[in-house]
Amino acid sequence: MRRWFPARSSPSWRLRGPSSWSIRAQSSVAATPRSRIRRRNTDQIASMASFPLVTSLTRPESNHVSGLCGRDTRMRESTTPPGRLPPRVRIAPSPTGDPHVGTAYIALFNFVFARKYGGRFVLRIEDTDQERSTASSEAAILEALRWLGFEWEEGPDVGGPHGPYRQSERLGIYQAHVQRLLDGGHAYRCFCTRERLDALRREQIEAKASHLGYDGHCRALSPDEGARRAADGEAHVVRLRVPSEGETSFFDHLRQETIGFQNEQIDDQVLVKSDGFPTYHLANVVDDHLMGITHVIRGEEWITSTPKHVLLYRAFGWEEPCFFHLGLLRNTDRSKLSKRKNPVSIFHYRDLGYLPETLLNFMATLGFSMGDDRERFTLDEMITAFEWSKVSAGGPVFDAAKLDAFNGADIRAMDVDTLHRRLLETTLAPERLRALLFHAKERIARLDDVVPYISFAFGAEVDYGPVLDKVKIKKRSRQDVIDVLERFAEEIERDPAARTFEAAALEAFSRGFCERSGWKAKDLFTLLRIAVTGRTAAPPLFDTMAICGKDRCRLRIRDLIGVLGGVADW
């Protein structure tokens, strides 16, 4: 683990550390023109004031470690972060699906950092993908983040001095900025068709090209011709003109290292799509600058596009923020956390009865440690103890069993009155209970039967043992059943209406699905009823699914698929 500054620096470290580094960095730059040149943030070391020489030794002219970062002379304590303080940070989710735990994870570090140093936490909606962005997704994300306890000083719902905070409402701003890039020669219009790009891509893959990317076909177009053709209404995009030689690097403040890329590795990124909307890269840089963001704290999936962002900051003549790239949350198989393999919706955790403060604590331990043996701590305690040297850069596996252990311990620690109250607010909320009673009353003879009757609407997995025989659908093989469940689960996510999980939309979707797949409604619905409830008898299927909720249904369908996978063929 690297540090800002040696917490207990011994005289020998002081003598050896920086000086040996400076020599190495210097010679490696000169002798080996490798794409990746690592060096310490020498400014920080220099600011220890013990090595006036270090700066001149290790700071080549091309040092890109500049901007907001590294020049901070307040860098005297190990806990003082780089960059301008108080910080302004942001979480910038894309409203294209369910609120993701990865978003919450990144939000946590942004939020804690802002709170620790008296900064501001901004929420910005990155809805530049017209195809996939939805208002309901945006609302869900805000709801989920609030449930977890995050509060933002600026955002689409609370306003703020740098609004609007929804990128789709900032189109004019991007247009003006693109014109600046065009005028400065930092960007150019590209009229290549989808077909040409596809063909190019295929060629590159077939030729096993070392790196795929745009071939610069339109780079040579004169700005005048580009402008003329654009004025004629010809469809086009705007691309970033990346220098063909040299390297672009940035300092990653979490890793405490410079990360460099050969420019030839960097694609001429599209900045404006043919629909006139900016891509993430452009909008993100423009907005971060205009909103005064000082520290960009995001997932490491962004590392490879950071040089494009850096190039944009320079093209505009703007100071760069400090970059921190956090490790990605992983599935048990270590791939990037995905809903195919894991519940990733924040609502899943909410609706199955995880306590928000516990989920937050658990996520915190994934990338942060107190430094001592404590791992049960509150948000406030984390804020108090927070410093970047306590954050690890590896990608942690999201261990659901440990989350369960934390949650169980916290439930035990509650007094019964508190537990009772919280249960009434969530799992047994009046509206939810009422919805269940609406269906239960038709089917019970004694009031007391209501609890066993509605039990399917609670808990995670159900026991398929007693009903396993019933999923043997006539003329359908075991594999047919597995396939149709998988396909159903997959397609429902893509259906904009069905994924709201309202009964009517679910029914419409499911009937359409039957037509497409050739399954009889009766057979499919039986299957789904068993998957979702573990029973052959329940209230009307789509009401049942709606009450159980998307995440519970998803979990159980997946669970049944798993059970079927281990069962003998029929």
Closer by beta carbon to RNA, 260 or else 292: 260
What phi and psi values does residue 179 have, to the nearest 5 degrees? -60, -40
Applying CB under 7 A, which of residues 74, 146, 228, 334 lies at the interface with RNA?
334
Residue 45 binds RNA, judged by CB under 7 A: no
- Would you state the structure tokens that stand for residue 539, as one six-digit string? 């209230």
Contact positions with RNA (CB under 7 A) in 497-516: none
Applying CB under 7 A, which of residues 29, 292, 302, 427 lies at the interface with RNA?
302
Which residues are registered as beta bridge partners of 238?
A: 189, 272
Residue 330 binds RNA, judged by CB under 7 A: yes
Q: How many CB atoms lie within 10 A of CB 105?
A: 23
Applying CB under 7 A, which of residues 160, 216, 327, 353 lies at the interface with RNA?
327
- Would you state the structure tokens that stand for residue 522, as one six-digit string? 């009766």
CA distance 309 to 329: 24
Contact positions with RNA (CB under 7 A) in 247-266: 252, 255, 257, 259-262, 265
DSSP H or E segment with residue 259: strand 257-262
Contact positions with RNA (CB under 7 A) in 93-132: 93-94, 96, 126, 128-129, 132
Closer by beta carbon to RNA, 267 or else 491: 267
Contact positions with RNA (CB under 7 A) in 406-435: 408-409, 412
Closer by beta carbon to RNA, 245 or else 569: 245
Size of site (CB under 7 A) for RNA: 87
Closest approach of RNA to the CB of residue 276, in Å: 9
Residue 214 binds RNA, judged by CB under 7 A: yes
DSSP string for 4-68: SS-TT--HHHHHHHHHHHHHHHHHHHHH---S------HHHHHTTSS-HHHHHHH--TT----TT
Which residues are registered as beta bridge partners of 85?
A: none
Closer by beta carbon to RNA, 61 or else 373: 373
Choosing from 208, 339, 341, 402, the catalytic residue is 339
What phi and psi values does residue 115 have, to the nearest 5 degrees? -65, -40
Q: Is the peptide bond before 86 cis (omega within 30 degrees of 0)?
A: yes
Residue 405 binds RNA, judged by CB under 7 A: yes
Applying CB under 7 A, which of residues 235, 424, 428, 451 lies at the interface with RNA?
235
Active site residue 339: yes
Closer by beta carbon to RNA, 413 or else 504: 413
Counting Cβ atoms within 10 Å, is residue 32 exposed (0-12), middle (13-18) or buried (19+)? Answer: exposed
CA distance 179 to 286: 13
Cβ(485)–Cβ(513) under 8 Å?
no
R_g of the chain computed on alpha carbons: 27
Applying CB under 7 A, which of residues 15, 135, 212, 424 lies at the interface with RNA?
212
Binding mask 171-210 for RNA (x = CB under 7 A): ---------------------xxx--x---x------x-x
Contact positions with RNA (CB under 7 A) in 538-567: none
Applying CB under 7 A, which of residues 44, 294, 342, 389 lies at the interface with RNA?
389
Applying CB under 7 A, which of residues 219, 229, 314, 336 lies at the interface with RNA?
336
Comparing CA positions, the residue from 241, 273, 270, 296 lying closest to residue 106 is 296
For the chain, give the number of residues.
Answer: 570
Closer by beta carbon to RNA, 339 or else 529: 339
DSSP letter, residue 454: G
- Would you state the structure tokens that stand for residue 69, as one six-digit string? 């970062």
Scanning 79-87, 267-275, 350-358, 477-485 for contacts with RNA by CB under 7 A, the matching segment is: 267-275
- Long-range contacts at 396-402 (CB < 8 A, ≥ 24 apart): 396/327, 396/329, 396/330, 396/366, 396/367, 397/329, 397/330, 397/331, 397/332, 397/334, 398/101, 398/329, 398/330, 398/331, 398/337, 398/342, 398/366, 399/332, 400/342, 400/343, 402/362
Binding mask 130-159 for RNA (x = CB under 7 A): --x---------------------------
* Residue whose entry in the numeric block shows the structure tokens 């850069």: 393
Scanning 48-56, 348-356, 398-406, 422-430 for contacts with RNA by CB under 7 A, the matching segment is: 398-406
Closer by beta carbon to RNA, 153 or else 399: 399
Scanning 28-36, 137-145, 175-183, 558-566 for contacts with RNA by CB under 7 A, the matching segment is: 28-36
Applying CB under 7 A, which of residues 87, 396, 539, 549 lies at the interface with RNA?
396
Contact positions with RNA (CB under 7 A) in 340-379: 365-367, 369, 371-373, 375
Angle, nearest 10°, between helix axes 430-440 and 541-548?
A: 160
Residue 164 binds RNA, judged by CB under 7 A: no
Closest approach of RNA to the CB of residue 240, in Å: 11
Contacts of 283 (CB under 8 A, 6+ apart): 126, 128, 167, 170, 174
Residue 80 binds RNA, judged by CB under 7 A: no
Active site residues: 339
